[in-house]
């Protein structure tokens, strides 16, 4: 009897392993931390595995167009998933908005200048000050930052003083290390660090730029459409929504 029970236990283990599958997803760099938590919850609940490839939305989009073997693409904008959809590279009717991001301007200084709430004035006081933004050609948060600078008529005034980072994570790194004195970052990044950030944080009004709606889409080349749909369903569930909102995103 003991041997029989042990045999059933071993068979169950092998059966579970044979059923478990692995999903490969491409994720915009601003969403790394909440996605890690979502993946942990999904894996614990389902037994499946999720591998995440991270980069700027533009870089991931380019990789997908050249045949990268991703199952789902989580972009930081709507345009790139829509372009893939128009090109017939997505599963029909699979595109959805999973979050809306907010833009923040971070002044990383230790002196009295950190109390200045009007960042355009702060920037014009010293022509040596530099700011970081994610590359507008690759990163939606960088494009939003560019729209803000255009609205405030700052593009020409900051000529030679804007440092383009590859993505929003690198922009955050440039400011946090002091390589630049200020920069546009994602509000969600403020919830992803385990220390108090020095300086001043100014939330940019929505009216200064187009909404940063972040869309995801299942790719047509996936061989795991059922598992992809299961993960998408999990992302749209209450548990994942709570995680997304806890990192400063809106739904």
Q: How confident is the model over 111-135, as pLDDT tens digits?
A: 555 456 788 888 888 888 999 999 9
Domain made up of 103-203: CATH architecture: 3-Layer(aba) Sandwich (3.40)
pLDDT at 7: 46
Domain ranges of the chain: 2-100+212-246, 103-203
The whole-model pTM stands at: 0.81
pLDDT at 109: 76
Confidence of residue 17 (pLDDT cuts 50, 70, 90): very low
Element (H, E) at 52: strand 49-55
2-100+212-246: which CATH topology?
D-Maltodextrin-Binding Protein; domain 2 (3.40.190)
Q: What's the average model confidence in pLDDT over 171-198?
A: 85
Same CATH fold, 103-203 and 2-100+212-246? yes
pLDDT at 112: 54
Confidence of residue 195 (pLDDT cuts 50, 70, 90): low
Q: In whole angstroms, what is the distance from residue 231 CA to residue 199 CA?
A: 39
Using an 8 Å Cβ cutoff, are 78 and 213 in contact? yes
**Secondary structure of 47-72 in the HEC alphabet?**
CCEEEEEEECHHHHHHHHHCCCCCCE
**Rounded (10°) angle between helices 140-151 and 168-176:** 70
pLDDT at 20: 83
């Amino acid at each position: 009897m003991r041997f029989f029970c042990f045999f059933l236990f071993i068979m169950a283990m092998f059966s579970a392993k044979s059923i478990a599958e692995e999903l490969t997803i491409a994720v915009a760099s601003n969403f790394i931390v909440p996605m890690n938590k979502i993946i942990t919850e999904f894996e614990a609940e389902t037994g499946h595995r999720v591998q995440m490839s991270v980069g700027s939305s533009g870089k991931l989009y380019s990789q997908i167009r050249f045949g990268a073997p991703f199952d789902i693409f989580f972009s930081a904008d709507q345009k790139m998933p829509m372009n893939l959809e128009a090109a017939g590279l997505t599963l029909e009717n699979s595109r959805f908005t999973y979050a809306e991001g907010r833009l923040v301007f971070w002044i990383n200084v230790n002196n009295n200048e950190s109390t200045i709430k009007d960042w355009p004035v702060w920037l014009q006081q010293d022509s040596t000050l530099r700011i970081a933004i994610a590359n507008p050609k690759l990163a939606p948060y960088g494009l939003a930052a560019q729209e803000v600078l255009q609205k405030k008529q700052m593009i020409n005034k900051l000529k030679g003083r804007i440092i383009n980072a590859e993505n929003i994570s690198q922009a955050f790194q440039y400011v946090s290390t002091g390589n630049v004195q200020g920069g546009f970052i994602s509000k969600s990044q403020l919830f992803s660090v385990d220390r108090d950030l020095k300086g001043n944080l100014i939330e940019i009004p929505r009216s200064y730029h187009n909404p940063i709606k972040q869309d995801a889409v299942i790719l047509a080349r996936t061989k795991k459409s059922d598992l992809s749909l299961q993960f998408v369903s999990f992302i749209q569930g209450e548990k994942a929504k709570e995680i997304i909102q806890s990192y400063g995103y809106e739904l």
